[in-house]
Chains A and B, each alone.
Chain A
Amino acid sequence: MAETYTFDAKDLAEIEKLTAKYPEKQAAVLPVLWYAQDKFGHSDPAVQKLVSETLGVPEAHIRGVVSFYTQFYDKPMGKNVLDVCTCLSCQVCGGYDMLHYIEEKLGIKAGETTPDGQFSLQSVECLGACGYAPMLQVTNDKFVNHLTREKVDKLIEDLKAGNKPEFESNPMPQHEKGS
């Protein structure tokens, strides 16, 4: 690991605030990892080590946490990370079709990053939006729902242009008027 990561005084103050919320240090692992990933863009082994040393939580435990969640990136990722859900509901609604379409379009496989560092693609488990299947999530943020090829094309164009997708409200059928 060529790069070394450090927390400055401001970071440490923030982390202190986070840990103060919990009775035990171990409970603060998730929020502190989020903080670190926001700062460094990923949670690779060097970042895990930093978090472990800062919190005094065993490094093996941090690795276990990072590797458990697809939301934590254990290696540097592209500017936009596309998490395509391929869990059950999305799968039956065409999640894999969407994943393979994006793979073809970007010329990378799931788990890889485009050479220009613009996009990373991941196949992930359920993101809790089964009602809007198939769907994907952009860089741990907005969901893009009811995916179609056109929607994917537009999304990628937008992201290339630097426009993040907007939050999209999808009322469930039972909540719609008159039903």
Chain B
Amino acid sequence: MNHVRRFLATPEGMAGGLLLLGFLLVALSAPFFFPRDPLSIAGPALLRPFQDWSLPLGTDRLGRDVLAGIFHGARTSLAVSLAAASASIAVGAIVGTLAGFAGGAVDEVLMRVTDAFQTVPGFLLALAFVSVVGPSLGVVVAAIALSAWTGPARIARAEVLSIRERDYVASARVAGMHPLEIAFREILPNALPPVLALASVIVAQAILVEAALSFLGLGDPNRVTWGGMIAEGRAVLRSAPFLSIIPGIALVLTVLGVYLAGEGAVEASAARRSLA
């Protein structure tokens, strides 16, 4: 409980925590408040916000409820960013552990592959992957993970290199444990904390990349996405700018919440260290 209290004691943690809580509530309550398909027509087209209280944020060109879109879009953002961040951290941790633990040629090859992935602009890679395989939720997740696993891999490798020489690893070796077992049961769990510290940045980037892909028309066509809503509104940017601006504000608040929460967590753990 102390962790949470220390986290909330920092202004960043408090603000980020509140923003994320709001985001989670919106995402999870979407089917409860808006049980209808958010892609269905709900009223007259291009209704401005705050005119009709049954459609508080107005409607788009096809008469779809903007507020329902925001709620259901939050679900897509949440699902994609969590899945992509978990996948990239898992892949990065495994690759980094293998490279750091095996050393030699394996390390060389894995690190050159990591270099190659970092040389190609991540967003272009994601774009190419989705456009070749075809847009669906799973493919978007894979595309984001493909461009985000290199950071965790590098950090995991650096951690493993420093852990590899510790006594408990040596004793596991003497006890006759299989090298792979040592790598994944003794070393990887201890190398994870610094990798997980990257989580907030990866989640935030995943939300932004998903939004950008959907904006370019490469999101899952059967789901509402904030990026897709912004792209939709772009056609009527002069007459109804609110259609593009509202989902953008939702995006900024969410990503900012993730960053602030990350800052708060870093400060809280620094505070704990200075106490100890």
Does A associate with B in a complex?
A: no
A residues at B contact (CB < 8 Å)? none
